Structure 1
Amino acid sequence: ERFVLINGTDSIQNSPVWWIPVAYTTATEKDFESTRPKIWVKERKVASNVTVKKDDWFVANIQQTGFYRVNYDQHNWRLLIKILKDPSRFQEIHIINRAQMIDDAMNLALTGRLDYRTALDVTSYLAHERSYVPWKAGLSALGYIDSMLSKGAHYLEYGRYVLRLLSGAVNEVGWEVSANESVIRAQQRVDLLASACHFEYVNCLENAVRMYANWMLAPNPDSYNE
């Protein structure tokens, strides 16, 4: 099925059909290095049998090398969420695929192809995620929901949920910039702290006020920007 954010577009059925390369792995294999397609989807509707053990998770589009979204049945989503929620095992899933699952799940929910309970359950593992790529996907998706709920009755509850996810990562990146810090690490700090302050995380607000006050008291504050 061609994915569009606005369902019911008349031109979808008449659009060209592209061959879709599908690389996948399972809990038994855990091979996230091979991105060679195991299946080619050549028609609008195709059924391919993939042998997977009953309680093995299944991940398609390895390292997101294909330009498409992946939806699963509820059983597989539950298996994937279970492994993601385990702080000792979530890294068994490749970092790019962790980001992909968040992005796919939230966009599928946006178009009604997946329930929001499942999609938000995927994001819940971010409480112990420390890498930037999944967080970038998470902040983007959660930011959209923030804009939708900002005037609603459940906004405070949503904000508390996001802060529960953010607190560990925010405390880990901290406020101090190291001498040889990478650009990615610096951007991660900017994004996380901006989100934390947006949701009024007390530690974030206190540090922001303190640093601003120190900056204002400096003899030549603009020198910090050079």
Structure 2
Amino acid sequence: MRLAGKTAIVTGAGSGFGAGIARRFAAEGARVMVGDINEAAAEAIAAEIGGIACAVDVGDGPSVAQMAAQARTAFGDVPDILVNNAGVTHLPAFMEDVSEADFDRVLRVNAKSVYLTARAIVPGMKSRRSGAILNIASTAGVSPRPRLNWYNASKGWMITATRAMAVELAPFGVRVNALNPVAGETPLLKSFMGEDTPEIRARFLSTIPLGRFSTPEDMGNAALFLCSDEASMVTGVAMEVDGGRCI
């Protein structure tokens, strides 16, 4: 029960890594708000873990503000933990062939969302002088894959944002870290690969020394450590959970 008495918001928690993190947090005693643009998915995970569902578009300021207000009402304060997990990608393509609409969508969800949640939640954490923020970045921000260029860039942005936030918020007792997962069995996997065939999977897995994709459980375990008091001296870290992909 390493998060007993703690409250948390996890965005993009209706499936994939976010659902794994929400489940792990709840199992360790946290009260979790499950945020997702898919309201039915959020409600399903919230019902499973005894949490609170919240329909949210993380790239929209009023929607994020509403989520923060709902959390304050439910928890009685800003959350102890914020996990910026919601993310999207574009299909593999040469950089000049990615549409402007796809570029805008990737930056809106992967980058702007971190600014919006910070604007809505950081002031309360600073006032309370405690909090933990976890940004789910990617190995793509460290070791970019060809033809995922603007997705790579958005995750590199998130890693730099994490470090900048950590330095600025440290005097207020707020820690900010990131996780860099390798591709996993989530709804985004097919988009990363372009198409899902045994041959493409084998080629993809050949770049991961441990020889498997990451799982929601892997992410939940790593997120639990970084957001728990066990990591009270850890801030500004972008931890790779990648089976050796970035070596």
TM-score in terms of structure 1 length: 0.32
* Higher RCO (C-alpha under 8 Å, 6+ residues apart): 2
TM-score in terms of structure 2 length: 0.30
Q: Which has the higher strand share?
A: 2
